[in-house]
Structure 1
Amino acid sequence: MPELNAPPSLLPLYAKAAVTAPLHRGGDTLPSSVYQLAAQSIDRDHLAAYERVCGFRVSDVLPPTYLHVLAFPLSVALMTERAFPFPMVGMVHVANSVTQVRPVRADETVSFTVRADDLRPHPAGRQFDLLAEATVDGEVAWSSRSTYLRREKSGEKKKDGAKPRDASPPSGAVANVRVPDDIGRRYGAISGDRNPIHLYGLTAKAFGFSSAIAHGMWLKARTLAALEGRLPDSFTVDVAFKLPVLLPSTIAIAAAESDDGWTLDVRSAKSGKPHLSGSVTNS
């Protein structure tokens, strides 16, 4: 059980991921490692920069998605272990769930644990979850589940041009948000996630995209920012990531109140193609 006093540096981890990619031979088990990070103070400048790039108000109360950024280096460390069955390069973040047990303030110190769980088949390959928990004074204040897909040749693939099936968007208020072409670089600088598909059109084209694409977790954060001030202290927000947001773009964020929270839907403002669907469930 690796216990760390400071977050691991992402740059060496990305270099390790690139070098060791051919060494991951697949397998049917995930490593049992549980990464622990000792209590960390919140960097208020970093917090404010995150809030600005994601559309939140600058506040001393952490946005519900901010702790994902602080736990992310532990996730990368786990996924670059030799025992991890898949290379990190090429994995797709397809869904994310965050549970805020209570708001966390910037003057509190936060500890983290991260582990992998539930390797399972998928029509396009295999999926697994990365589970993170944040504790304050020994009590869980926040948790998340990030679901990743490893595409495999034996899996079924969608035919070219196939569109994800999705229900009609909710009838709630819609906000059109302009997404600039540098949002991937700006969010990458804050989150540490500098995957080349998010940075420049040229680097994204090497991976089959016509332009750089926005981070899924930026999209989730920007969607929640549209509901800022209307969410309770305790809730769970589940989202599925659909078609990528090609940069630059304009997205339509729709939210409709439900019996126990909100229904979320994000689409291209021009074409109506789905980018994100999900829900907020009050605890």
Structure 2
Amino acid sequence: MNTPVTLLLEQGPMLKTLGRIAISTVLPSKKSANNPNSFPVISERVASPSTKLIEHYLRWAGVTGDRYKGHIPPHMFTQFAMPICSQQIEMTRYNIGGIINQGCGMTIYNSIPLGKDLQVDCEVVSVTEDNGRARLHQRLAVAAVGGEKAIDVDFYTAFIIGKGVKKAKEAPEPMEFSSQGSWSASSNDGLEFGILTGDLNPIHWIGPVAKMSAFKSKVLHGFGMFVRTFELIQQSSSEDIRSIDVKFISPVKLPSQGNEVFVTTATQPDGRHRLEQRDNKGKVQIVGSYC
């Protein structure tokens, strides 16, 4: 394994959050029957990740060259977002231990300078309940303290609250895709990404626990899929990605080979490229768009 375990020393907030979630799962407290009428905006000042942590994160993500020299990669929100977002999730009537990560979106306005504290603000955009699912949309705004906004990140999560009716899938619109390349995931990638972000959910790195899950094996974090797909597309593009939205369809099992990323050869009427990631048998893992 190439990622030093000592990097966990930088993951205090996330590890505390995981501990709190574990305790609430084992010893659940009584929750309100209703969600709040409104949610407060959570604002926190977050220390910049260390140079060492960023170096190992970029290596794991597959970044080459000096694209992010002097800056924090925009998708490194994966390292500090959850401890902040979880505070609002815990205010809902839902069990945070049953959270389902459905996808995310990111809009990039400016670079995030390395070494400066970050101002992070999280708001709840919407909460809806339909067809046995509760869906939560949160938005995270990130800026260097005293600087202009750098990124907005939209998080889409769901909770099972009842039995839903399976809906018929619409036939996808025919589009011409081209391959941007593929990436593979080792058996240790779940543990390494967990060390880099603090998300040590055991389904990503402990085989016996993962086998008892719905996935029946270790799987990579959804955000880990997002990071590697983002970087593969970015390295194949002559222009910087300014906006990207993804929906997680099926997991990347660990280990796996040939997770291939496809994008439309032409922009669509909305000015965006569509993207898909498929496993080596053609099963779709991610869908989305970017520009």
Give the TM-score, by structure 2 length: 0.82
Aligned match of 2:275: 264
CA distance in 1, matches of 2:172, 2:42: 36
Change (3 A) 1:257 1:185: same
Give the share of equivalent positions with the same residue, in percent: 20
Structure-to-structure mapping, 1:133-144, within 5 angstroms: 133-136=141-144, 137-144=146-153
C-alpha contact (below 8 Å) 1:68/1:144 kept by paired residues = no
Structure 1 contact 263–280 (Cα < 8 Å) conserved: yes
Q: Which of 10, 13, 17 in structure 1 is aligned with 2:17?
A: 13
Change (3 A) 1:17 1:169: farther
Change (3 A) 1:231 1:133: farther
State the partner residue of 1:156: 165
Q: Cα gap change, 1:39/1:29 in structure 2, threshold over 3 Å: closer, same or farther?
A: closer
Residue aligning to 2:76: 66
- What amino acid is the match of 1:71? A
How far apart, CA to CA, are the structure 2 residues paired with 1:105 and 1:257?
33
Query: 1:110–1:99: structure 2 CA closer, same or farther, 3 Å change rule?
Result: same
Q: Secondary structure at 2:95's aligned position in 1?
A: coil
Q: 2:102 is matched with which residue?
A: 94
Structure 2 partner of 1:38: 45
Please give the secondary structure, in 1, of the residue aligned with 2:45: strand
Report deviation, 1:87.
Answer: 1.6
Match of 2:60 among 49, 53, 57: 53
Shifted more, 168-177 versus 212-221: the winner is 168-177
Taking a change above 3 Å as real, the CA distance of residues 234 and 181 of structure 1, as seen in their structure-2 partners, is closer
Among 222, 227, 230, which residue is 2:228 paired with? Answer: 222
Structure having the larger proportion of residues in helix: 2
Q: 1:8 to 1:258 in 2, by over 3 A?
A: farther
1:276 aligns with 286
Say how many residue pairs are matched.
270
Superposed CA deviations along residues 30-86 of structure 1, whole A, max 9, x for unmatched, are: 76132212253341111111111111236323323112422222123333x3x3321
Q: Structure 1 stretches of 5 or more lacking a match? A: 1-5
TM alignment of 1:21-36, pairs within 5 A: 21=25, 22-23=28-29, 24-29=31-36, 32-36=39-43
CA 1:169 to 1:47, structure 2 compared with 1: closer, same or farther past 3 Å?
farther
Q: 1:236 to 1:30 in 2, by over 3 A?
A: farther
Root mean square deviation of aligned Cα: 2.7
